[in-house]
Structure 1
Protein backbone atom coordinates (compact mmCIF):
# COMPACT_ATOMS: atom_id res chain seq x y z
CA UNK A 1 0.00 0.00 0.00
CA UNK A 2 1.06 3.58 -0.55
CA UNK A 3 2.70 5.18 2.49
CA UNK A 4 1.55 8.61 3.66
CA UNK A 5 3.55 11.63 2.57
CA UNK A 6 5.29 13.61 5.26
CA UNK A 7 6.20 17.27 5.50
CA UNK A 8 9.79 18.05 4.56
CA UNK A 9 11.77 20.96 3.10
CA UNK A 10 12.45 20.71 -0.62
CA UNK A 11 15.99 19.35 -1.04
CA UNK A 12 18.48 21.68 -2.68
CA UNK A 13 19.01 20.71 -6.31
CA UNK A 14 22.30 18.95 -6.97
CA UNK A 15 25.20 20.77 -8.49
CA UNK A 16 24.91 20.99 -12.25
CA UNK A 17 25.44 17.57 -13.81
CA UNK A 18 27.13 16.69 -17.08
CA UNK A 19 24.12 17.55 -19.25
CA UNK A 20 24.59 21.01 -20.85
CA UNK A 21 20.94 21.40 -21.86
CA UNK A 22 18.84 24.52 -21.34
CA UNK A 23 15.05 24.66 -21.80
CA UNK A 24 14.12 25.97 -25.24
CA UNK A 25 10.49 27.10 -25.76
CA UNK A 26 10.64 26.02 -29.40
CA UNK A 27 11.76 22.49 -28.49
CA UNK A 28 10.16 21.60 -25.16
CA UNK A 29 6.91 20.16 -23.88
CA UNK A 30 5.64 19.99 -20.30
CA UNK A 31 4.70 16.68 -18.68
CA UNK A 32 2.46 17.09 -15.64
CA UNK A 33 2.96 13.67 -14.14
CA UNK A 34 0.16 11.88 -12.24
CA UNK A 35 -1.33 14.99 -10.64
CA UNK A 36 -4.48 13.06 -9.73
CA UNK A 37 -6.35 13.53 -6.47
CA UNK A 38 -5.60 9.97 -5.38
CA UNK A 39 -1.91 10.84 -5.22
CA UNK A 40 -1.70 14.53 -4.42
CA UNK A 41 -4.47 14.92 -1.86
CA UNK A 42 -2.09 13.31 0.65
CA UNK A 43 0.03 16.49 0.53
CA UNK A 44 -0.77 19.49 2.70
CA UNK A 45 -0.89 22.49 0.36
CA UNK A 46 0.08 24.87 3.15
CA UNK A 47 3.44 23.26 4.01
CA UNK A 48 6.43 21.94 2.12
CA UNK A 49 6.62 19.99 -0.12
CA UNK A 50 2.92 20.30 -0.99
CA UNK A 51 2.92 24.08 -1.18
CA UNK A 52 5.94 24.18 -3.52
CA UNK A 53 4.51 21.37 -5.65
CA UNK A 54 1.23 23.14 -6.33
CA UNK A 55 2.69 26.62 -6.69
CA UNK A 56 5.47 25.57 -9.04
CA UNK A 57 3.43 23.22 -11.20
CA UNK A 58 0.86 26.01 -11.53
CA UNK A 59 3.55 28.50 -12.57
CA UNK A 60 5.01 26.10 -15.14
CA UNK A 61 1.61 25.25 -16.55
CA UNK A 62 0.60 28.90 -16.88
CA UNK A 63 3.91 29.83 -18.52
CA UNK A 64 3.55 27.01 -21.05
CA UNK A 65 -0.03 28.03 -21.83
CA UNK A 66 1.11 31.62 -22.47
CA UNK A 67 3.98 30.48 -24.68
CA UNK A 68 1.83 27.84 -26.47
CA UNK A 69 4.22 25.13 -25.33
CA UNK A 70 2.56 21.69 -25.54
CA UNK A 71 1.35 20.22 -22.26
CA UNK A 72 0.81 16.50 -21.68
CA UNK A 73 -0.78 14.99 -18.58
CA UNK A 74 -0.25 11.44 -17.42
CA UNK A 75 -2.96 9.70 -15.44
CA UNK A 76 -3.52 6.19 -14.19
CA UNK A 77 -6.86 4.66 -15.21
CA UNK A 78 -7.97 3.23 -11.88
CA UNK A 79 -9.40 -0.23 -11.23
CA UNK A 80 -6.87 -1.97 -13.44
CA UNK A 81 -7.39 -5.61 -14.24
CA UNK A 82 -4.95 -8.06 -12.68
CA UNK A 83 -3.17 -8.38 -16.04
CA UNK A 84 -2.92 -4.63 -16.59
CA UNK A 85 -1.69 -3.95 -13.06
CA UNK A 86 0.93 -6.68 -13.23
CA UNK A 87 3.75 -6.43 -10.72
CA UNK A 88 2.54 -3.05 -9.47
CA UNK A 89 0.06 -5.04 -7.43
CA UNK A 90 2.83 -6.78 -5.50
CA UNK A 91 4.32 -3.45 -4.42
CA UNK A 92 1.27 -1.17 -4.15
CA UNK A 93 -1.80 -3.38 -3.89
CA UNK A 94 -4.88 -2.79 -5.97
CA UNK A 95 -4.27 0.93 -6.41
CA UNK A 96 -6.90 3.55 -7.06
CA UNK A 97 -10.50 2.78 -7.87
CA UNK A 98 -12.35 4.20 -10.85
CA UNK A 99 -14.02 6.80 -8.61
CA UNK A 100 -13.79 10.12 -10.53
CA UNK A 101 -12.94 11.89 -7.27
CA UNK A 102 -9.74 9.82 -7.07
CA UNK A 103 -8.88 9.63 -10.75
CA UNK A 104 -9.55 13.28 -11.52
CA UNK A 105 -6.75 15.63 -12.48
CA UNK A 106 -6.00 18.47 -10.09
CA UNK A 107 -5.51 20.86 -13.02
CA UNK A 108 -7.90 21.18 -15.96
CA UNK A 109 -6.41 19.60 -19.06
CA UNK A 110 -7.59 22.46 -21.33
CA UNK A 111 -7.72 20.13 -24.29
CA UNK A 112 -4.13 18.96 -23.78
CA UNK A 113 -3.36 15.31 -24.37
CA UNK A 114 -3.81 12.95 -21.43
CA UNK A 115 -1.84 9.72 -21.71
CA UNK A 116 -3.12 6.72 -19.80
CA UNK A 117 -0.26 5.41 -17.70
CA UNK A 118 0.27 1.72 -16.92
CA UNK A 119 3.63 1.62 -15.13
CA UNK A 120 5.98 4.09 -13.48
CA UNK A 121 7.17 5.64 -16.75
CA UNK A 122 4.81 7.85 -18.74
CA UNK A 123 6.42 6.42 -21.90
CA UNK A 124 5.54 2.76 -21.23
CA UNK A 125 2.64 1.58 -23.44
CA UNK A 126 1.69 5.19 -24.24
CA UNK A 127 1.94 7.39 -27.36
CA UNK A 128 4.04 10.00 -25.53
CA UNK A 129 7.26 9.60 -27.53
CA UNK A 130 5.34 9.53 -30.82
CA UNK A 131 3.35 12.58 -29.77
CA UNK A 132 6.50 14.54 -28.95
CA UNK A 133 8.12 13.61 -32.27
CA UNK A 134 5.00 14.67 -34.17
CA UNK A 135 5.22 18.08 -32.47
CA UNK A 136 8.96 18.36 -33.21
CA UNK A 137 9.65 18.48 -29.49
CA UNK A 138 12.99 17.10 -28.34
CA UNK A 139 12.89 18.28 -24.71
CA UNK A 140 10.51 17.38 -21.89
CA UNK A 141 9.97 19.31 -18.66
CA UNK A 142 8.82 16.92 -15.92
CA UNK A 143 6.88 17.94 -12.83
CA UNK A 144 4.41 16.19 -10.52
CA UNK A 145 4.56 13.06 -8.34
CA UNK A 146 6.32 10.96 -7.25
CA UNK A 147 9.90 12.12 -7.76
CA UNK A 148 11.73 8.81 -7.29
CA UNK A 149 9.12 6.69 -9.05
CA UNK A 150 7.26 7.85 -12.15
CA UNK A 151 9.01 11.20 -12.55
CA UNK A 152 12.50 9.71 -12.43
CA UNK A 153 11.63 6.70 -14.61
CA UNK A 154 9.94 8.97 -17.15
CA UNK A 155 13.11 11.07 -17.27
CA UNK A 156 15.21 7.95 -17.82
CA UNK A 157 12.89 6.78 -20.62
CA UNK A 158 12.98 10.21 -22.26
CA UNK A 159 16.76 10.00 -22.21
CA UNK A 160 16.55 6.55 -23.86
CA UNK A 161 14.42 8.13 -26.61
CA UNK A 162 17.00 10.92 -27.13
CA UNK A 163 14.56 13.45 -25.68
CA UNK A 164 16.33 15.83 -23.29
CA UNK A 165 14.64 15.51 -19.88
CA UNK A 166 14.44 18.19 -17.21
CA UNK A 167 13.38 16.85 -13.80
CA UNK A 168 12.35 20.10 -12.17
CA UNK A 169 13.78 19.95 -8.67
CA UNK A 170 11.15 21.93 -6.76
CA UNK A 171 8.13 21.04 -8.91
CA UNK A 172 8.11 17.38 -7.88
CA UNK A 173 7.28 15.85 -4.51
CA UNK A 174 7.74 12.49 -2.83
CA UNK A 175 7.04 10.45 0.28
CA UNK A 176 10.19 11.64 2.05
CA UNK A 177 13.02 14.12 1.65
CA UNK A 178 15.41 11.19 1.14
CA UNK A 179 13.34 9.82 -1.75
CA UNK A 180 13.14 13.29 -3.31
CA UNK A 181 16.89 13.92 -2.98
CA UNK A 182 17.77 10.49 -4.34
CA UNK A 183 15.71 11.12 -7.47
CA UNK A 184 17.40 14.46 -8.12
CA UNK A 185 20.92 13.17 -7.56
CA UNK A 186 20.45 10.07 -9.70
CA UNK A 187 18.87 12.09 -12.50
CA UNK A 188 21.61 14.72 -12.45
CA UNK A 189 24.33 12.07 -12.65
CA UNK A 190 22.73 9.74 -15.17
CA UNK A 191 19.94 11.04 -17.36
CA UNK A 192 18.52 14.54 -16.81
CA UNK A 193 19.04 18.17 -15.98
CA UNK A 194 17.59 19.17 -12.59
CA UNK A 195 16.82 22.91 -12.70
CA UNK A 196 14.55 24.79 -10.33
CA UNK A 197 11.23 26.21 -11.46
CA UNK A 198 12.74 29.71 -11.47
CA UNK A 199 15.54 28.50 -13.77
CA UNK A 200 13.05 27.01 -16.21
CA UNK A 201 10.74 30.04 -16.19
CA UNK A 202 13.66 32.32 -16.94
CA UNK A 203 14.32 30.39 -20.15
CA UNK A 204 10.65 30.12 -21.11
CA UNK A 205 9.89 33.81 -20.70
Structure 2
Protein backbone atom coordinates (compact mmCIF):
# COMPACT_ATOMS: atom_id res chain seq x y z
CA UNK A 1 0.00 0.00 0.00
CA UNK A 2 1.24 3.52 -0.73
CA UNK A 3 2.30 5.78 2.10
CA UNK A 4 1.16 9.37 2.59
CA UNK A 5 4.61 10.64 1.64
CA UNK A 6 4.39 9.02 -1.77
CA UNK A 7 1.00 10.37 -2.85
CA UNK A 8 0.74 12.48 -6.03
CA UNK A 9 -0.19 16.17 -5.92
CA UNK A 10 -3.90 16.83 -6.43
CA UNK A 11 -5.33 19.16 -9.05
CA UNK A 12 -8.78 19.21 -7.43
CA UNK A 13 -9.17 20.44 -3.87
CA UNK A 14 -11.03 19.02 -0.87
CA UNK A 15 -11.90 18.64 1.85
CA UNK A 16 -14.47 15.89 2.08
CA UNK A 17 -17.47 16.79 4.27
CA UNK A 18 -19.92 14.44 6.01
CA UNK A 19 -23.02 16.37 4.91
CA UNK A 20 -21.98 16.22 1.26
CA UNK A 21 -20.31 12.82 0.86
CA UNK A 22 -21.33 9.24 0.15
CA UNK A 23 -19.03 6.20 0.43
CA UNK A 24 -18.74 3.75 -2.47
CA UNK A 25 -17.34 0.30 -1.67
CA UNK A 26 -16.48 -0.89 -5.15
CA UNK A 27 -16.68 -4.56 -6.22
CA UNK A 28 -15.35 -6.14 -3.00
CA UNK A 29 -16.50 -9.58 -4.12
CA UNK A 30 -14.93 -12.99 -3.57
CA UNK A 31 -14.20 -13.40 -7.29
CA UNK A 32 -12.14 -10.23 -7.52
CA UNK A 33 -10.35 -10.81 -4.22
CA UNK A 34 -9.30 -14.36 -5.14
CA UNK A 35 -5.81 -13.38 -6.47
CA UNK A 36 -4.85 -11.83 -3.11
CA UNK A 37 -3.49 -13.87 -0.22
CA UNK A 38 -5.86 -13.59 2.72
CA UNK A 39 -3.43 -12.63 5.47
CA UNK A 40 -0.96 -10.59 3.46
CA UNK A 41 -0.66 -7.10 2.02
CA UNK A 42 -2.46 -5.49 0.32
CA UNK A 43 -5.62 -7.38 1.34
CA UNK A 44 -5.07 -6.96 5.07
CA UNK A 45 -4.77 -3.17 4.83
CA UNK A 46 -7.53 -2.98 2.23
CA UNK A 47 -10.11 -4.71 4.42
CA UNK A 48 -9.03 -2.81 7.53
CA UNK A 49 -9.12 0.62 5.90
CA UNK A 50 -12.43 0.09 4.13
CA UNK A 51 -13.86 -1.16 7.42
CA UNK A 52 -12.69 2.00 9.20
CA UNK A 53 -14.21 4.22 6.52
CA UNK A 54 -17.49 2.32 6.59
CA UNK A 55 -17.74 2.41 10.38
CA UNK A 56 -17.27 6.17 10.58
CA UNK A 57 -19.67 6.77 7.71
CA UNK A 58 -22.35 4.76 9.49
CA UNK A 59 -21.65 6.65 12.70
CA UNK A 60 -21.96 10.14 11.21
CA UNK A 61 -24.80 9.38 8.77
CA UNK A 62 -22.93 9.20 5.48
CA UNK A 63 -24.69 6.94 2.94
CA UNK A 64 -22.79 3.71 2.19
CA UNK A 65 -23.12 2.28 -1.32
CA UNK A 66 -21.85 -1.09 -2.57
CA UNK A 67 -21.31 -1.92 -6.24
CA UNK A 68 -21.23 -5.54 -7.39
CA UNK A 69 -21.20 -7.46 -10.63
CA UNK A 70 -23.60 -10.40 -10.97
CA UNK A 71 -22.47 -13.95 -11.61
CA UNK A 72 -23.39 -16.03 -14.63
CA UNK A 73 -23.73 -13.16 -17.10
CA UNK A 74 -24.70 -13.92 -20.67
CA UNK A 75 -22.44 -13.08 -23.62
CA UNK A 76 -24.69 -10.11 -24.41
CA UNK A 77 -24.50 -8.81 -20.86
CA UNK A 78 -20.71 -9.15 -20.83
CA UNK A 79 -20.25 -7.43 -24.19
CA UNK A 80 -16.63 -6.43 -24.80
CA UNK A 81 -15.73 -7.32 -21.22
CA UNK A 82 -15.95 -10.96 -22.33
CA UNK A 83 -13.32 -10.36 -25.00
CA UNK A 84 -11.08 -8.56 -22.50
CA UNK A 85 -11.59 -10.65 -19.34
CA UNK A 86 -13.48 -13.81 -20.25
CA UNK A 87 -16.78 -15.01 -18.84
CA UNK A 88 -16.50 -13.12 -15.56
CA UNK A 89 -17.97 -14.27 -12.27
CA UNK A 90 -19.32 -17.83 -12.22
CA UNK A 91 -22.98 -18.30 -11.45
CA UNK A 92 -22.29 -20.47 -8.39
CA UNK A 93 -23.54 -17.98 -5.81
CA UNK A 94 -20.09 -17.74 -4.21
CA UNK A 95 -17.91 -15.55 -6.42
CA UNK A 96 -20.44 -12.75 -6.56
CA UNK A 97 -20.78 -12.44 -2.79
CA UNK A 98 -19.32 -9.42 -1.03
CA UNK A 99 -16.43 -10.49 1.20
CA UNK A 100 -17.75 -11.47 4.62
CA UNK A 101 -15.71 -8.80 6.44
CA UNK A 102 -17.69 -6.10 4.62
CA UNK A 103 -21.19 -7.58 4.52
CA UNK A 104 -23.68 -4.77 3.86
CA UNK A 105 -25.63 -3.53 6.84
CA UNK A 106 -29.30 -2.51 7.03
CA UNK A 107 -29.85 0.74 5.16
CA UNK A 108 -26.81 0.35 2.88
CA UNK A 109 -27.41 0.70 -0.85
CA UNK A 110 -26.39 -2.21 -3.12
CA UNK A 111 -26.02 -1.54 -6.86
CA UNK A 112 -25.70 -4.18 -9.57
CA UNK A 113 -23.46 -3.05 -12.42
CA UNK A 114 -22.26 -4.53 -15.71
CA UNK A 115 -19.39 -2.26 -16.73
CA UNK A 116 -16.33 -0.66 -15.15
CA UNK A 117 -18.02 2.49 -13.87
CA UNK A 118 -20.47 2.17 -10.98
CA UNK A 119 -22.52 4.92 -12.68
CA UNK A 120 -23.01 3.10 -15.97
CA UNK A 121 -26.40 1.38 -16.22
CA UNK A 122 -27.25 2.06 -12.56
CA UNK A 123 -29.11 4.75 -10.64
CA UNK A 124 -26.07 5.77 -8.58
CA UNK A 125 -26.23 9.38 -9.79
CA UNK A 126 -29.94 9.58 -8.98
CA UNK A 127 -29.31 8.05 -5.54
CA UNK A 128 -26.69 10.71 -4.81
CA UNK A 129 -28.97 13.52 -5.98
CA UNK A 130 -31.84 12.25 -3.85
CA UNK A 131 -29.53 12.13 -0.83
CA UNK A 132 -28.23 15.65 -1.52
CA UNK A 133 -24.65 14.40 -2.03
CA UNK A 134 -22.09 15.92 -4.38
CA UNK A 135 -18.97 14.12 -3.13
CA UNK A 136 -18.11 10.43 -3.55
CA UNK A 137 -15.48 8.61 -1.49
CA UNK A 138 -14.22 5.66 -3.54
CA UNK A 139 -12.61 2.54 -2.12
CA UNK A 140 -12.33 -1.09 -3.25
CA UNK A 141 -10.85 -2.82 -6.30
CA UNK A 142 -9.37 -2.54 -8.84
CA UNK A 143 -7.82 0.92 -8.60
CA UNK A 144 -6.89 1.31 -12.28
CA UNK A 145 -10.08 -0.20 -13.68
CA UNK A 146 -13.48 0.24 -12.02
CA UNK A 147 -12.39 2.64 -9.29
CA UNK A 148 -10.69 4.96 -11.76
CA UNK A 149 -13.51 4.73 -14.31
CA UNK A 150 -16.02 5.54 -11.58
CA UNK A 151 -13.95 8.50 -10.38
CA UNK A 152 -13.73 9.87 -13.93
CA UNK A 153 -17.45 9.34 -14.46
CA UNK A 154 -18.23 11.13 -11.18
CA UNK A 155 -16.05 14.05 -12.23
CA UNK A 156 -17.92 14.37 -15.53
CA UNK A 157 -21.18 14.55 -13.56
CA UNK A 158 -19.81 17.26 -11.22
CA UNK A 159 -19.67 14.81 -8.33
CA UNK A 160 -16.33 15.45 -6.59
CA UNK A 161 -14.53 12.08 -6.29
CA UNK A 162 -12.16 11.21 -3.44
CA UNK A 163 -10.04 8.14 -4.19
CA UNK A 164 -8.68 6.72 -0.95
CA UNK A 165 -5.11 5.72 -1.74
CA UNK A 166 -4.73 2.91 0.82
CA UNK A 167 -8.35 1.73 0.66
CA UNK A 168 -8.06 0.71 -3.01
CA UNK A 169 -5.90 -2.12 -4.32
CA UNK A 170 -4.67 -3.38 -7.66
CA UNK A 171 -2.82 -6.17 -9.47
CA UNK A 172 0.52 -4.75 -8.39
CA UNK A 173 2.18 -1.58 -7.10
CA UNK A 174 2.73 -0.21 -10.62
CA UNK A 175 -0.95 -0.36 -11.59
CA UNK A 176 -1.89 1.08 -8.20
CA UNK A 177 0.51 4.00 -8.57
CA UNK A 178 -0.59 4.68 -12.14
CA UNK A 179 -4.24 4.87 -11.06
CA UNK A 180 -3.51 7.29 -8.22
CA UNK A 181 -1.36 9.55 -10.38
CA UNK A 182 -3.91 9.72 -13.20
CA UNK A 183 -6.78 10.32 -10.78
CA UNK A 184 -4.95 13.08 -8.90
CA UNK A 185 -3.98 14.80 -12.15
CA UNK A 186 -7.22 14.47 -14.08
CA UNK A 187 -10.37 13.71 -12.08
CA UNK A 188 -10.16 13.13 -8.31
CA UNK A 189 -8.79 14.12 -4.94
CA UNK A 190 -6.40 11.39 -3.77
CA UNK A 191 -6.01 11.11 -0.01
CA UNK A 192 -5.11 8.44 2.56
CA UNK A 193 -7.62 6.73 4.84
CA UNK A 194 -6.24 8.65 7.81
CA UNK A 195 -6.68 12.00 6.05
CA UNK A 196 -10.24 11.26 4.95
CA UNK A 197 -11.22 9.99 8.41
CA UNK A 198 -9.63 13.01 10.04
CA UNK A 199 -11.47 15.46 7.78
CA UNK A 200 -14.82 13.74 8.32
CA UNK A 201 -14.36 13.57 12.09
CA UNK A 202 -13.21 17.18 12.34
CA UNK A 203 -16.15 18.43 10.31
CA UNK A 204 -18.56 16.35 12.38
CA UNK A 205 -17.12 17.68 15.64
CA UNK A 206 -16.76 21.34 14.70
CA UNK A 207 -18.99 22.40 11.79
CA UNK A 208 -22.81 22.29 11.60
CA UNK A 209 -23.89 20.16 8.61
CA UNK A 210 -24.79 22.10 5.45
CA UNK A 211 -26.57 21.01 2.31
CA UNK A 212 -24.81 21.11 -1.08
CA UNK A 213 -25.74 24.18 -3.07
CA UNK A 214 -27.41 22.20 -5.85
CA UNK A 215 -29.89 20.28 -3.69
CA UNK A 216 -31.95 20.57 -0.54
CA UNK A 217 -33.30 17.01 -0.64
CA UNK A 218 -32.47 14.60 2.14
CA UNK A 219 -31.80 10.87 2.06
CA UNK A 220 -34.67 8.44 2.46
CA UNK A 221 -34.99 6.72 5.80
CA UNK A 222 -33.03 3.42 5.86
CA UNK A 223 -35.01 0.19 5.96
CA UNK A 224 -34.10 -2.93 7.88
CA UNK A 225 -32.38 -4.46 4.84
CA UNK A 226 -29.80 -3.29 2.29
CA UNK A 227 -31.40 -1.43 -0.61
CA UNK A 228 -30.69 -3.38 -3.81
CA UNK A 229 -30.66 -1.59 -7.16
CA UNK A 230 -30.20 -3.75 -10.25
CA UNK A 231 -28.40 -2.42 -13.29
CA UNK A 232 -30.04 -4.94 -15.60
CA UNK A 233 -33.28 -2.94 -15.27
CA UNK A 234 -31.60 -0.20 -17.29
CA UNK A 235 -30.43 -0.32 -20.95
CA UNK A 236 -26.88 -1.42 -21.68
CA UNK A 237 -26.04 1.41 -24.09
CA UNK A 238 -22.32 2.01 -24.12
CA UNK A 239 -21.20 5.42 -22.79
CA UNK A 240 -17.74 6.93 -23.35
CA UNK A 241 -15.73 6.65 -20.14
CA UNK A 242 -12.12 7.84 -20.27
CA UNK A 243 -10.39 5.05 -18.36
CA UNK A 244 -7.20 3.03 -18.48
CA UNK A 245 -7.50 -0.43 -20.03
CA UNK A 246 -4.67 -2.85 -19.34
CA UNK A 247 -4.92 -6.30 -20.91
CA UNK A 248 -3.80 -8.74 -18.25
CA UNK A 249 -5.01 -12.13 -17.12
CA UNK A 250 -6.81 -11.16 -13.94
CA UNK A 251 -10.41 -11.74 -12.89
CA UNK A 252 -12.85 -9.09 -13.97
What's the TM-score, normalizing by structure 1?
A: 0.93
- Post-superposition Cα deviations, 1:80-122, rounded to whole Å, max 9, x if no partner, equal 1111100000010001112221111112211311111110000
**SS of residue in 1 equivalent to 2:110:** strand
One of 142, 146, 154 as aligned partner of 2:142: 146
Q: Within 5 A, what are the aligned runs for 1:118-157? A: 118-157=114-153
Structure 1 distance, partners of 2:72, 2:3, is 34
The range that moved more, 10-19 or 21-30, is 10-19
Q: Is the 8 A contact 2:71 2:93 kept in 1?
A: no
Displacement after TM superposition at 1:42 (Å): 2.4
Return the offset for 1:19. Answer: 0.7
Q: Offset at 1:149?
A: 0.2
SS at match of 1:102: coil
SS in structure 1 of the partner of residue 55 of structure 2: helix
Give the Cα separation in 2 of the matches to 1:16 and 1:71: 27
Secondary structure of the 1:52 match is: helix
Cross-structure match for 1:81: 74
Aligned-partner Cα distance in 2 for 1:11–1:41: 24
Structure 1 residue 135: Cα displacement = 0.2
Specify the alignment match of 1:60 in structure 2: 53
- Residue number in structure 1 paired with 2:110: 114
Q: Deviations over 1:108-160 (max 9, x none)?
A: 21131111111000000000001000000000000000000000000000001
Bigger shift: residues 25-34 or 62-71: 62-71
Residue aligning to 2:223: none
SS at 1:79's partner residue? coil
Q: Is the 8 A contact 1:10 1:48 kept in 2?
A: no
For residue 41 of structure 1, report the CA deviation from its aligned partner.
Answer: 3.1
Point out the more displaced range, 38-47 or 120-129.
Answer: 38-47
Unaligned runs of 5+ in 2: 202-252
DSSP 3-state at the match of 2:94: helix
Instruction: Give 5+ residue unaligned stretches, structure 1.
Output: 1-8
Pick the structure with greater CA Rg: 2
Deviation larger for 105-114 or 25-34: 105-114
Aligned length: 197
Superposed displacement of residue 21, structure 1: 1.6
2:183 maps to 1:187? yes
